[in-house]
């Protein structure tokens, strides 16, 4: 059964149940009230009649109906005497020889009973009549319950019709409200199914209702999940394409050189060198890829210690000056004593990537400058160069895997770059609780700025990261 049908059934039964209870209570109250009114009439009449009673000359009970004692049309009276039986009956029941209510024994006190005489239901009050301590007879005053029954029937009809109409309205209201609410869910389900069938993660579920209600939030969450999945799939697709592309060139070179060697029948030094360098390149790329996969997934264990960044920067400069040779000047700018908490090898890898890039992309005669400073709680390391700068359209992408600005692909003839160095740096810094920014101006140069939380002491180093 659908949710809508279940909700409609539930609420309709609930309304029906409440109305049934309510109806029973009303019916009972009205019935009791009507019978009470009849009982009151009977009591009043009986009291008037008892007042009008006397014993005649022979000691028999007699009733003297005074003219101002008018019996209501539906009130019947019988006077029973212990010895002589029926002494008086009102005109409309003069033919009746039976008591209005069973009178096997004379009642010791007034008793109300509901009985049937023929087809008619009667409410009968039997009042004992006594002389001194001796019971001498009973007065029975009865009234037809026809009016009570008619009222009960009308009330029952009104209650049943009222209950049915209310249940119908409740069913309609619930059905309409749930239809509106569930229609959005049904639409969402059908779009979700279409997305699955068409394998199209670019679609989103439309929702016109209020964004803050439960369904709006559900659809928003679902759309966010779709965006994330779309991004992941696109990244993965791009990654596979990039890896394929990067692998093809060295493999073609290796295959070409190997075929050449076979044709020549002897080992040619140049071909062997080329094979070796391409194999080195492949090995480096696979190493970088594995490293990136690990840092990106946060699976790279961090050997957290206090790291003296000033010493580390000096080491990096010394190491990279070899690469710069006389082509580019590598300068050390302002340098503070700075302690951070982290994995020394990984932080060194970041610094090497940044400084090597700066040297690599800066033309001969240019300058690379490294500075180290600190603010209140952050260490700041800047690597700036006087290179060609990064085009604004490339800037937002340079930390993505395999991303290389178009010019860099052609400018660096050494073919050493894969577009992985900055991604690795980005993830390492991120896992150290820091941040890496870039600022670049065309033909003026590029500045990379790394921010890392300052270490307060050896003790809190393990827990900080």
> Would you please indicate which residues are annotated as catalytic (active-site) residues?
245
Q: Which residues pair with 440 in a beta bridge?
A: 446
Q: Is 433 left (phi over 0), alpha (psi -120 to 50) or beta?
A: left
Does 390 bind ligand ADP (CB under 6 A)? Our answer is yes
Q: Which residues pair with 308 in a beta bridge?
A: 339
Write out the two tokens for 418: 């894969």
Does 385 bind ligand ADP (CB under 6 A)? Our answer is yes
Q: 255 vs 327, which CB is nearer to ligand ADP? A: 327
List the one residue from 137, 250, 387, 434 that touches ligand ADP (CB under 6 A).
Answer: 387
Beta strands in 391-434 (DSSP E): none
- Cβ-in-10-Å burial (0-12, 13-18, 19+) of 151 comes to middle
Q: 61 vs 242, which CB is nearer to ligand ADP? A: 242
Does 207 bind ligand ADP (CB under 6 A)? Our answer is no
- For 171, other C-beta atoms within 10 Å of its C-beta total 17
For the CB of residue 384, give the shortest distance to ligand ADP in the complex, in Å. 9
Q: 77 vs 425, which CB is nearer to ligand ADP? A: 425
How far from each other are the two terminal CA atoms of the chain, in whole angstroms?
53
Q: 141 vs 390, which CB is nearer to ligand ADP? A: 390
**Minimal CB distance residue for ligand ADP:** 417
**Binding footprint of ligand ADP, residue count (CB under 6 A):** 20
Across the beta sheet with 75-81, what order do the strands follow? 85-89, 75-81, 134-144, 120-131, 111-117
Does 80 bind ligand ADP (CB under 6 A)? Our answer is no
Q: 22 vs 403, which CB is nearer to ligand ADP? A: 403
Cα separation, 126 vs 131, in Å, equals 17
| Nearest alpha-carbon partner for 23 in 128, 152, 183 | 152
Interacting positions 27-66 with ligand ADP (CB under 6 A): none
Q: 101 vs 390, which CB is nearer to ligand ADP? A: 390
Query: Which one of the spans 110-118, 151-159, 307-315, 355-363 is the region binding ligand ADP (CB under 6 A)?
Result: 355-363
Interacting positions 125-144 with ligand ADP (CB under 6 A): none
Does 382 bind ligand ADP (CB under 6 A)? Our answer is no
Cα separation, 249 vs 254, in Å, equals 9
For the CB of residue 325, give the shortest distance to ligand ADP in the complex, in Å. 17
**Angle, alpha carbons 447-452-458 (nearest 5°):** 150
For the CB of residue 420, give the shortest distance to ligand ADP in the complex, in Å. 6
Cα separation, 19 vs 11, in Å, equals 12
Interacting positions 398-437 with ligand ADP (CB under 6 A): 398, 403-405, 408, 417-423
**Site residues (vs ligand ADP, CB under 6 A):** 353, 357-358, 361, 385, 387, 390, 398, 403-405, 408, 417-423, 446
């Amino acid at each position: 059964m659908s949710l809508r049908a279940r909700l409609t059934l539930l609420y309709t039964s609930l309304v029906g149940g409440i109305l049934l209870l309510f109806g029973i209570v009303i019916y009972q109250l009205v019935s009791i009230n009507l019978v009470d009114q009849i009982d009151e009439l009977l009591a009043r009449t009986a009291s008037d009649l008892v007042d009008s009673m006397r014993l005649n000359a022979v000691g028999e009970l007699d009733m003297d109906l005074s003219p101002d004692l008018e019996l209501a049309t539906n009130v019947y009276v019988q006077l029973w005497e212990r010895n002589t039986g029926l002494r008086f009956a009102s005109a409309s029941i003069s033919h009746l020889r039976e008591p209005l209510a069973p009178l096997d024994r004379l009642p010791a006190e007034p008793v109300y009973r509901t009985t049937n005489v023929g087809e008619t239901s009667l409410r009968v009050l039997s009042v004992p009549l006594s002389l001194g301590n001796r019971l001498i007879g009973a007065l029975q005053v009865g009234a037809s319950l026809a009016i009570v029954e008619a009222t009960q029937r009308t009330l029952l009809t009104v209650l049943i019709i009222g209950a049915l109409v209310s249940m119908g309205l409740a069913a309609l209201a619930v059905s309409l409200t749930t239809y509106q609410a569930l229609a959005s869910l049904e639409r969402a389900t059908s779009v979700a199914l279409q997305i699955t069938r068409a394998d199209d993660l670019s679609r989103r579920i439309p929702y016109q209702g209020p964004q803050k209600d439960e369904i709006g939030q559900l659809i928003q969450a679902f759309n966010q999940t779709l965006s994330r999945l779309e991004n992941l799939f696109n990244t993965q697709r791009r990654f596979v394409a990039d890896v394929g592309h990067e692998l093809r060139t060295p493999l073609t070179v290796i295959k070409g050189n190997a075929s050449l060697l076979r044709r020549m029948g002897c080992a040619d030094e140049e071909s062997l060198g080329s094979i070796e360098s391409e194999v080195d390149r492949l090995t480096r790329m696979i190493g970088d890829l594995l490293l990136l996969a690990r840092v990106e997934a946060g699976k790279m264990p961090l050997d957290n210690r206090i790291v003296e960044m000033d010493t580390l920067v000096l080491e990096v400069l010394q190491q990279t000056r070899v690469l710069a040779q006389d082509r580019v000047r590598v300068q050390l700018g302002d340098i503070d004593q700075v302690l951070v908490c982290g994995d020394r090898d990984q932080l060194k890898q970041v610094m090497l990537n940044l400084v090597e890039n700066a040297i690599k992309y800066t033309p001969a005669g240019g300058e690379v400058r490294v500075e180290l400073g600190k603010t209140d709680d952050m260490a700041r390391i800047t690597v700036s160069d006087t290179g060609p700068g990064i085009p604004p359209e490339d800037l937002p992408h340079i930390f993505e895997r395999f991303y290389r600005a178009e010019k860099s692909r052609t400018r660096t003839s050494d073919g050493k770059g894969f577009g992985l160095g900055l991604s690795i740096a980005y993830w390492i810094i991120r896992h150290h609780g820091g941040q890496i920014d870039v600022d670049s101006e065309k033909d003026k140069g590029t500045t990379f700025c790394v921010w890392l939380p300052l270490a307060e002491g050896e003790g809190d180093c393990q827990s900080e990261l």
